[in-house]
């Protein structure tokens, strides 16, 4: 059985393997990890991986759908 992991971006200032914390396999526990939200915002705007900014707009687009009222 795989162990639970808390993943982060694989970019500076986060761990290079993308694993912030890892729980012990086959053990009941709560996994808690501290992440600096400012670092995540900086990576979203200026990081080396820009998934949403580098997407091919000619193939697909992102659209937000609001739930329909009944």
> CB–CB of 18/28 below 8 Å?
no
Extents of the domains making up the chain? 1-64
For residue range 6-57, list pLDDT tens digits in order. Answer: 777 777 777 777 788 888 888 888 888 888 889 888 887 887 777 666 777 7
DSSP states of the chain:
-PPPEEE--SSTTS-TTSEEEEPPTTS---------HHHHHHHHHHSS--TTTTS-TTT------PPPP-
pLDDT recorded at residue 22: 82
32: which 2 tokens? 């808690």
């Amino acid at each position: 059985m795989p162990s639970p992991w808390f993943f982060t971006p694989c970019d500076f200032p986060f761990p290079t393997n993308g694993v912030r914390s890892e729980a012990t396999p086959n053990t009941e526990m709560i996994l808690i990890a501290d992440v600096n939200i400012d670092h995540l915002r900086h990576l979203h705007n200026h990081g080396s991986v820009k998934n949403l900014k580098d997407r091919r707009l000619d193939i697909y687009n992102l659209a937000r759908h609001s739930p329909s009222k009944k």
